[in-house]
A = this chain, B = another copy of it.
Amino acid sequence: MSELGSPERTPDAQTPDTRDDDAGDGIQASQRMLSFSDALLSIIATVMVLPVMHTKIYPEQHFDRSMQKLLATKIAVYLMSFLIVTVAWAAHIRLFQVVGKIDDTLALLNLVCMMTITFLPYTFSLMVTFPAEPLGIFLFCVCVIAIGAVQAVVVGYAFHYPHLLNRQIACSVHRVTLQRHILGILLRGPALCFAAAIFSLFFFPMSYLLLVLVIVLPYVSKAARWCQEHVRGPGEPPTQTLQFFPFDLHEPLSKERVEAFSDGVYAIVATLLILDICEDNVPDPAEVEGAFHGSLVAALGASRPRFLAYFGSFATVGLLWFAHHSLFLHVRKATQPMGLLNTLALAFVGGLPLAYRQTSALARRPREELESIRVSCVIIFFAGTFQFATWTAALLRQRETLHPTVWYGGREHALMFAKLGLYPCASLLAFASTCFLSRFSTAIFHLMQIGAPLAFLLLRLLLRLALAALRGLRGLAWPADPQPSGRGQDGDGDRADLQAQLLPDS
């Protein structure tokens, strides 16, 4: 495999300055269309959390088995449709890495593609609500086929007008083979879905099997390739088909699009509760007159738990966005494992307003309140942990994924670990303390919500104190040895550099 470090090798031709060359022919840089698509897709990915959020739990109703099952089904639908939309989004990224520029026709085709994708969550939830009916799976497959067909038309159109293609592909001599190869990758999923749609008409369990295959296939092929590489050794030359391929279709995530998609998800999730509040919690004048004796303050006081829940959820989502933002400042390119981990983190973030809404809905019943606070802690814990894992995955291949300024660790690394570790640790702590001090669980949870932003503000200071304490301790332990454990000859320079950064006051 060739060195991926050089920044000129990034396949996307999204720089804004390319537009001036040929604005007269209607050729445009695709940048803005892509961010619009990202915004649409991030909304669609989170849309299925609404039916879960608005599941009615009446005060007299107990949180019994059937209720739990209903909620669990809805949550599963949400998570699966989130993953499905992100798969469609990844395919979209791949497509527009091949197609570097757009014109009006491509922009319109992209809108058609988006409209079809927005329908996926609905068909999926039909499929889950009526597992014994073939209609749901049939509609789902029709959507996937339609998306595949539109994408194939886009590829065909772009290869027909090669100036729209990525410059490296446009200049390649093997363009026809390339087109066939790309179409093959694009249409693999829709072809399987076509088979599934046909099977759904007479034997639909087979369709479910085929659908699972569609989702699992990329990961299986990736794992197989990885195993092959590691068993046969990395010296194996790439196959004939891929040799002339100017970039790797299996590392398709450009940093900008991951950021735009994540921003969209965080923005939607942060505001989901205020949407509800604006819709439901403006008191009715007649009700204020009747139930609260005309006192607007009392009427607003009655829905205080919801306001508190809103502030709590906004602060948490905002700070998780902040951690994500700090993380991606150092990232240059997102690998596939990073993309997957980021998606999982986002899926858990999407669950947050849910937990908060249940927290405020159940606030008056101590037993359920405890449970929903624990659920919140678990969701926050997983969201934070997957962010942490994304950073770890980036560090494992830092020469490929990170900016050179952060390659050798140092204080920025320590700060990043602290930022990303804060929420997992805080939520774990809160969860543990609710087990011991279940009577004060609400107070603990609110304490965590107020404490976390303060901790973020003081993080740099806290870290410096911690490092100074560490240095003091080490100074006591090895007073004469400035470099306690050399890592050998070649690591020495880095090590000294790291120390200089880590301990700036020494």
Which chain B residues border A451 with CB–CB below 8 Å?
Answer: none
Instruction: Decide: A405 and B24 in contact? CB cutoff 8 A.
Output: yes
Interface status of A429 (Cβ within 8 A of chain B): no
Instruction: Decide: A278 and B329 in contact? CB cutoff 8 A.
Output: no
Chain A 386-404, CB-CB to B under 8 Å as 1, else 0, gives: 0000000000000000010
Q: In chain A between 406 and 420, which residues have their CB closer than 8 angstroms to a CB of chain B?
A: 406, 411-412, 415
Partner of A26, one of B28, B125, B135, B460: B460
Interface status of A422 (Cβ within 8 A of chain B): no
Residue ID in chain B nearest A329 by CB atoms: B28
Instruction: Decide: B111 and A318 in contact? CB cutoff 8 A.
Output: yes
Instruction: Decide: B104 and A44 in contact? CB cutoff 8 A.
Output: no
What's the tally of chain A residues with a CB closer than 8 Å to chain B? Answer: 83
Chain A 319-332, CB-CB to B under 8 Å as 1, else 0, gives: 10110011011100
Chain A 119-136, CB-CB to B under 8 Å as 1, else 0, gives: 101100110011001011
Among A297, A319, A321, A406, chain B packs the most CB atoms within 10 A around the CB of A321
Interface status of A266 (Cβ within 8 A of chain B): yes
Q: Which one of A32-40, A167-175, A371-379, A430-438 contacts B? A: A32-40
Instruction: Decide: A267 and B457 in contact? CB cutoff 8 A.
Output: no
Chain A 293-321, CB-CB to B under 8 Å as 1, else 0, gives: 00011001000000000010011001101
Which chain B residues border A443 with CB–CB below 8 Å?
Answer: none
Partner of A259, one of B32, B279, B403, B501: B32
Interface status of A198 (Cβ within 8 A of chain B): no
Q: A279-B51, A405-B20 are in contact. Are A39 and B115 (CB under 8 A)?
A: no
Instruction: Decide: B274 and A32 in contact? CB cutoff 8 A.
Output: no
Distance from A366 Cβ to chain B, minimum over Cβ atoms (Å): 29
In the complex, what distance in Å separates the CA atom of A259 from the CA atom of B125?
Answer: 33
Distance from A51 Cβ to chain B, minimum over Cβ atoms (Å): 5
Q: A32-B259, A412-B24 are in contact. Are A278 and B122 (CB under 8 A)?
A: yes
Instruction: Decide: B271 and A43 in contact? CB cutoff 8 A.
Output: yes
Residue ID in chain B nearest A46 by CB atoms: B275
Interface status of A456 (Cβ within 8 A of chain B): yes
Residue ID in chain B nearest A36 by CB atoms: B263
Partner of A48, one of B278, B281, B318: B278
In the complex, what distance in Å separates the CA atom of A45 from the CA atom of B131?
Answer: 39
Instruction: Decide: A325 and B129 in contact? CB cutoff 8 A.
Output: no
Instruction: Decide: B39 and A39 in contact? CB cutoff 8 A.
Output: yes
13 A-B pairs with C-beta separation under 8 A = A23-B406, A24-B501, A32-B263, A32-B329, A36-B321, A39-B39, A39-B264, A48-B278, A104-B326, A108-B319, A111-B315, A118-B270, A126-B282
Residue ID in chain B nearest A453 by CB atoms: B108
Instruction: Decide: B278 and A51 in contact? CB cutoff 8 A.
Output: yes
In the complex, what distance in Å separates the CA atom of A54 from the CA atom of B47?
Answer: 17
Distance from A452 Cβ to chain B, minimum over Cβ atoms (Å): 11
Among A39, A281, A288, A456, chain B packs the most CB atoms within 10 A around the CB of A39
Interface status of A260 (Cβ within 8 A of chain B): yes
Instruction: Decide: A135 and B264 in contact? CB cutoff 8 A.
Output: no
